[in-house]
Chains A and B, each alone.
Chain A
Amino acid sequence: MASFKPTKIHVYPKLGEKVTQDTLYWKNYKAPIQIKQFGAVSNVAFSPVAPYNFAVTAFTRIHIYGPFSQEPIKSFTRFKDTAYSGRFRSDGQLLVAGCEDSVVRLFDVGGKTALRMFKGHTKAVHLTDFTSDRYQIVTGSDDYSCRLWDIPNATELNTYREHTDYIRCGVTSKLNRDLFITGSYDHTVKLFDVRTDKSVMTMDHEQPVESLLLYPSEGLLVSAGGRFVKVWDLLKQGQPLVSLRNHHKTVTCLCLSKNGERLLSASLDRHVKVYNTTNYKVVHNFDYPASILSLALAPYDESIVVGMTNSVLSIKHKKSPSESKDSTSQQRRRPSYRMFVKGKNYIPKQDDFLVGKQVKEHLAKHDKQLKKFNVSKALDTALESWTRRRKPEVTVAVIKELNRRGTLKNALAGRDEQELSRILNFLIGNLVDARFTLVLVTPAEMILDIYRSIIGQSPVIDRQLLRLHELLERELDYQRELLEVLGMLDTLFASSLPRNAVECSGISGLVLRFVEREQCSETEIYQ
């Protein structure tokens, strides 16, 4: 006498990304804190010293936020027009910012009014930065010039007019006080040496340059512009190393993770991509609700701060180690190990008569009914609201089992309005799910067969049937479109791979699978 075998619940493969070390690392952040700003957030900069405050430049203000506060601990509001590029000095005491009114302002982080005003540019200043000796400021402006200023006496030291378009980004060397790099809309990136009057290196990015980043070793330079992120080797006279094209809109901001192992790029396409800096493959991806203008990573990756065009600042803090183990600590405390081994290691003596403990088989509710051949009740238990919503695969498995036994029709027949509408609800929810479609088509057809005569008697059922009808119509349209796409792709692949018929069929299978997956995600989105 064999025991009853429970209904097999099919385990469906999870769609979406695979779990890697990187996904685990980058998913280990809390839900984002969103702070509304007065305008698009154009720049976010972290203070390099301890509490790691950060300056957020948005519209005519610069706010300084502490690492955990949601209210700004400091605000600089003395701008006549839109402020740009608020950056900290390496000691965290001073802050410099450009402005649409072409005046560069220098603030004391503790004070309120500007310590110095550097006037000389004729148009908006988008780039401001301190040199590594902390006494000079580099600025770049829309008047195609970049200038070097002396902080103590607020004088202009030098002017470079080599760019032929707006200068929108730049970076100063942290190791050498004489070097700084600027990127411009004339597609070039230029490296300047203060000791000479001219640029010493020019790199062609081929797109308007939006952002620049130096590696901590300063041997490599990363530039972003258009859809491209390019890496240059400065030690080899600015030789291009890699060109990355992973965004489908302009890349606006770049940043490095704590030890330089990962590079992050933010784009107007609302994504932040994380690259591995050894092979420059995308290892992770963040989605944001709006186009991203600025991105900054706190030291030690403690938080990710992103500023968007919809004037929202999004801050994600890293989970503390205790919180990341949250799920385990929340579990009920189990009895100790000693409890479990109690009596288990007892060795029976020779004369002992051993009475084995009967293992009670545990069956799920629907299995209990199936064991007794109560088909309608089995379907009822499988359609209980919790199962139906949380574990549709269980309901589908029971329907499949009933169909296998040839008793699905009996189980579906003879139901009142309420029960029938519950079944129809489930069908409407899951019929177009690619994983369940094959199974659920049969009960849908059976319901139509069984209850054909009562159509028109109940408004609830009629409405649901109409919805089902609409759903199927739309699904058919989807399928038609997808087949069209498939046909197009097949012709493309056929023309690019003229070798033999065998390989093509393999690829079309692959494409089909891809399309199926897309279809799944599309239906999910649709729902």
Chain B
Amino acid sequence: MVEHADIRVVHRGGSKINFRAPVISDDSRLLLCASGECVKVYSTSTEECVHHLRAHTDVVTGVVLRPSNHLQVYSCSMDGTIRLWDFTDAILIKTYVIGQPIYSIYASAQHNGMFHLVAVHLQQSTEQLVEARELSVVISHVSSNPAAIAFGRAGEYLASTKGLQLEVFFLKKQKSNRFSLKEENKKGRKNTFSCVTCHPTDDCIATGHEDGQIRLWRNFSHKKEYTYSTLHWHHTTVGSLCFTPEGTNLLSGGVESVLVQWRYNQDTQRDFLPRLGAAITHVTVSPDGTLFTTTHSDNSKSCYTLTAQALLICLYCSRESIETDLLIDPRSKALVMNGKPGHLQFYSLQRDKLMYNLDIVQQEYIYQSDLQQFEVVKAAFNSSGNWLATVEREQKDAELELNLKLWAFDDQTQSFVLNTTISAPHENRITALCFSPATDSQTTTVLVSSSKDGHFKAWQLTYLQYEGPCWSCDFVGAYHGLVPSCCCFSADGSLLAVSFQEVVTVWSSASWELLTTLSQPPGDIRDLCFGQLSCSKYLLGTSTSNLLLCWNLLTCSCKITAPLLMYTSLPTFAVIAASFSSLLSVFVFKPSEPRPIFSQKAVCSGKVMRAVFAPREEMLESCEESSQWLNRCQLYFLSQHMDLMTFTTKAEEDKLMDSSKQLVIDDTVAMTPFHLLLGKRRKEREDSARPYTAGLPMSLTHVSSPSQLLQTPAHVLPSTSYLCSMFVRSLLISVTDNRSVTQYSYSTNTHSSAFTGFILHGSTSVPK
């Protein structure tokens, strides 16, 4: 097996941004969030990712603004280092090595010239304070949850919660007070602390609890005479708490995905912001108090101002597994997978940005932790992207509710519109869904669904006279009562392969006749796909006994059985099959050859969740044998941490580097009233200055001699290269448009004739 130096695995986006609370810069323009091994800097106004701060070698666990300089930021990571960055220009300033995994970082504004760091190491359960390079333990036995520790008013004390205990540590006096709650009070509620925050100007600590209560602790400098009051609205765990900078409001969020705003000292007054999309994990307020940011469990972030809101989403990932698999929308070339609950997300691979969410279930989502809801479990596109089939499932105790929905692409609205809903298409879970490839417009599109109830069904598009097209069942097939696991159409749509445990049955899609059966025991078939283009006679499959099988359909003989530990196999755009083994190696095969044409070990850390081949926009012209398979398509795969990775060649990478040097949208000038006044005037001035340059070609076409141009001062002229091409073009037009005029100019003006001569000879050098 050959390793290829010029093919590399690169990170292409995705990744979680909801791991830790984000940080908003002082001027509310930038948003910093820890995302995997780097810190991403987003613009709050354009939602674009401005910078990546990359240097850490492990997961970044905390980001905090430097109190003494608001243009710098500290980040800590599991690799045991803390780095100081200039986040506006993405420059690494300093690196502090701690040597132990750091779980969170806090900074206090009042301690000038130093910063406090709370690093928690799980094995030792200690808390360490660093001044310059010295460490000292402040509190031990703290929780690794960053929300469990908070700095108090003016950095005088530190509040830390763990389990049922609240510990307040006074930094000046170097002593701590501990308050513990009873395990369960009368009504059987859980009193465990979930988060803590401190009032910025008052001696007050707000704690969230697992039963949904919020307690406001006061007078905690005394061990006995402390008091607390209770606020209750949440019905389950309070996920996050935050005071506004002036301390007038307290914000709280939880599983209900409602942002609740409590007036400080006016407990009865509450404001709500309901239906935010998913459970709230972090709430942050910008230092000037104009912007709230909520981070949700589905990897989205929303910024709310008092009137408008912006949504920043990397890649929705609410569940552990992506049930729909990764799909490529043939129309927009977007990556399609499970998004928000009950939605399909369309994610642009080129821009690493969510395009839109398609609401599949069309039902109000109830934010309740233990409620079973409809989930999109399968999806399939037909080859032209006109039809989308989705399956949604609700499993409630023993009852199973299935809906098969077919969506037609509407050209006017440029989105999918629900065409047919088939409730209970099968009696049991649907295992596979595939469209027949439409070879021409005459043949009707067929959708095949296979289910655990032992049948596979073919659905056909029928045209009703008065109601337009809709889908209906055309054929129900079964094979000896076995359970079908996957199905696949051949490239020309004439054959349908359905695997029933260890048997693969091949059906004619025209007459629904069973043509042949193939089997290669032991082991059930797990994946099936037909070869394409020159390899269309091959049927590929993987089995649970870790074999890659390849049948030649002309001879019905099994050609290759490669004993590999398969993870998944995928059909390709061209003639390749790629497979991931459990050792995290990738092998790329050509169905006609028994040996892999490409292999790479350890492509990423953690499991590979899903993978998909995406066709390229433009073909690469690589002549090398080893990288030819990347010419027409790209292999994307999703790691356990929701990082989207792909393989690229060196040449492609270079090309990408060039194109990525494009300008980021400039939003450095804040929209102040002054800007509105001055900016407008400046723009006007620019506009008034422009006609001179913009008007050049106009004037040139009409001016018979360029001497006028040559007489103007050189410092007000645009660059010569710009002028030259314009000048030459103006001459060309005059030649074609009006022959008599050129003849006149030819006879009178030697300058212009010289220029035409240059053009005719194809010379690029122009005399100055």
* A and B part of one assembly: yes
Contacting A19 at CB < 8 Å: which of B274, B309, B423, B466?
A: B466
Q: Are B371 and A505 touching (Cβ within 8 A)?
A: no
Contacting A501 at CB < 8 Å: which of B362, B364, B371, B478?
A: B478
Q: Are B368 and A406 touching (Cβ within 8 A)?
A: yes
* B696, chain A: closest CB distance, angstroms: 27
Q: Could you tell me the distance between the alpha carbons of A3 and B423 in the complex, rounded to whole angstroms?
A: 26
Convert A7-32 into 0s and 1s, putting 1 for each residue whose CB lies closer than 8 angstroms to a CB of B: 11010000000011000000000000
Contacting B277 at CB < 8 Å: which of A2, A8, A401, A502?
A: A2
Q: Are B276 and A1 touching (Cβ within 8 A)?
A: yes
- With a cutoff of 8 Å between Cβ atoms, the chain A residues found around residue B277 in the complex are 2
Convert A404-422 into 0s and 1s, putting 1 for each residue whose CB lies closer than 8 angstroms to a CB of B: 1110000000000000000
* A480, chain B: closest CB distance, angstroms: 21
Q: Is B121 an interface residue (CB 8 A)?
A: no
- With a cutoff of 8 Å between Cβ atoms, the chain B residues found around residue A506 in the complex are 475-477
Q: Are B478 and A5 touching (Cβ within 8 A)?
A: no
Convert A477-512 into 0s and 1s, putting 1 for each residue whose CB lies closer than 8 angstroms to a CB of B: 000000000000000000000001110011001000
Q: Is B514 an interface residue (CB 8 A)?
A: yes
Q: Could you tell me the distance between the alpha carbons of A6 and B371 in the complex, rounded to whole angstroms?
A: 19
Q: Is B232 an interface residue (CB 8 A)?
A: no
**What residue of chain A has the Cβ atom nearest to residue B364's Cβ?**
A5
Q: Is A4 an interface residue (CB 8 A)?
A: yes
Q: Are A1 and B364 touching (Cβ within 8 A)?
A: no
Q: Are B478 and A2 touching (Cβ within 8 A)?
A: no
**What residue of chain A has the Cβ atom nearest to residue B277's Cβ?**
A2
Q: Given A404-B373, A404-B394, do A505 and B309 touch, yes or no (CB 8 Å)?
A: no
Q: Is B55 an interface residue (CB 8 A)?
A: no
Q: Is B393 an interface residue (CB 8 A)?
A: no
* A9, chain B: closest CB distance, angstroms: 11
Q: Are A509 and B466 touching (Cβ within 8 A)?
A: no
Contacting A10 at CB < 8 Å: which of B359, B423, B455?
A: B423
Q: Are A502 and B477 touching (Cβ within 8 A)?
A: yes
Q: Is A370 an interface residue (CB 8 A)?
A: yes
Q: Are B364 and A370 touching (Cβ within 8 A)?
A: yes
- With a cutoff of 8 Å between Cβ atoms, the chain B residues found around residue A1 in the complex are 273-276, 309
Q: State how many residues of chain B have any CB contact under 8 Å with chain A.
A: 27
* B470, chain A: closest CB distance, angstroms: 10
- With a cutoff of 8 Å between Cβ atoms, the chain A residues found around residue B371 in the complex are 405-406
Q: Is B363 an interface residue (CB 8 A)?
A: yes
- With a cutoff of 8 Å between Cβ atoms, the chain B residues found around residue A4 in the complex are 275, 364
Q: Could you tell me the distance between the alpha carbons of A19 and B467 in the complex, rounded to whole angstroms?
A: 10
* A142, chain B: closest CB distance, angstroms: 50
Q: Are B476 and A505 touching (Cβ within 8 A)?
A: yes
Q: Is B479 an interface residue (CB 8 A)?
A: yes
Convert A257-290 into 0s and 1s, putting 1 for each residue whose CB lies closer than 8 angstroms to a CB of B: 0000000000000000000000000000000000
Q: Could you tell me the distance between the alpha carbons of A401 and B394 in the complex, rounded to whole angstroms?
A: 13
* B340, chain A: closest CB distance, angstroms: 9
Q: Could you tell me the distance between the alpha carbons of A20 and B362 in the complex, rounded to whole angstroms?
A: 33
* A465, chain B: closest CB distance, angstroms: 24
Q: Is B465 an interface residue (CB 8 A)?
A: yes
**What residue of chain B has the Cβ atom nearest to residue A500's Cβ?**
B514
- With a cutoff of 8 Å between Cβ atoms, the chain B residues found around residue A20 in the complex are 465
**What residue of chain B has the Cβ atom nearest to residue A11's Cβ?**
B421
**What residue of chain A has the Cβ atom nearest to residue B276's Cβ?**
A1
Q: Is B556 an interface residue (CB 8 A)?
A: no
- With a cutoff of 8 Å between Cβ atoms, the chain B residues found around residue A2 in the complex are 275-277
Interface residues of B in 447-502 (CB under 8 A from A): 455, 465-466, 475-480
Q: Could you tell me the distance between the alpha carbons of A499 and B66 in the complex, rounded to whole angstroms?
A: 80
Q: Is B678 an interface residue (CB 8 A)?
A: no
**What residue of chain A has the Cβ atom nearest to residue B273's Cβ?**
A1
Q: Could you tell me the distance between the alpha carbons of A501 and B373 in the complex, rounded to whole angstroms?
A: 37
Q: Given A5-B364, A405-B366, do A505 and B455 touch, yes or no (CB 8 Å)?
A: yes
- With a cutoff of 8 Å between Cβ atoms, the chain A residues found around residue B455 in the complex are 505
Q: Could you tell me the distance between the alpha carbons of A295 and B514 in the complex, rounded to whole angstroms?
A: 52
- With a cutoff of 8 Å between Cβ atoms, the chain A residues found around residue B423 in the complex are 10
Q: Could you tell me the distance between the alpha carbons of A488 and B154 in the complex, rounded to whole angstroms?
A: 86
- With a cutoff of 8 Å between Cβ atoms, the chain A residues found around residue B363 in the complex are 5, 7-8, 401, 404
- With a cutoff of 8 Å between Cβ atoms, the chain A residues found around residue B276 in the complex are 1-2
Q: Could you tell me the distance between the alpha carbons of A84 and B480 in the complex, rounded to whole angstroms?
A: 66
* B428, chain A: closest CB distance, angstroms: 15
* A371, chain B: closest CB distance, angstroms: 8
* B732, chain A: closest CB distance, angstroms: 36
Q: Could you tell me the distance between the alpha carbons of A404 and B397 in the complex, rounded to whole angstroms?
A: 12
* B292, chain A: closest CB distance, angstroms: 12
Convert A88-104 into 0s and 1s, putting 1 for each residue whose CB lies closer than 8 angstroms to a CB of B: 00000000000000000
The interface centre, meaning the residue of B273, B275, B362 with most chain A CB atoms within 10 A of its CB, is B275
Q: Could you tell me the distance between the alpha carbons of A85 and B373 in the complex, rounded to whole angstroms?
A: 71
Interface residues of B in 262-300 (CB under 8 A from A): 273-277
**What residue of chain B has the Cβ atom nearest to residue A20's Cβ?**
B465
Contacting A5 at CB < 8 Å: which of B273, B362, B476?
A: B362
Could you list which residues of chain A lie within 8 angstroms of chain B, going by C-beta atoms? 1-8, 10, 19-20, 370, 401, 404-406, 500-502, 505-506, 509
**What are 16 A-B contacts defined by CB distance under 8 Å?**
A1-B275, A1-B276, A4-B275, A6-B364, A8-B363, A19-B465, A19-B466, A401-B363, A404-B363, A404-B366, A406-B371, A502-B477, A502-B478, A502-B514, A506-B475, A506-B476
Could you list which residues of chain B lie within 8 angstroms of chain A, going by C-beta atoms? 273-277, 309, 359, 362-366, 368, 371, 373, 394, 423, 455, 465-466, 475-480, 514
Given contacts A405-B368, A501-B478, 14 further A-B contacts (CB under 8 A): A1-B309, A5-B359, A7-B363, A8-B363, A19-B466, A404-B366, A404-B373, A405-B371, A502-B479, A505-B477, A505-B478, A506-B475, A506-B476, A509-B476
Q: Ordered nearest first, which 3 A-B pairs have the shortest CB separation?
A: A506-B476, A5-B364, A2-B275
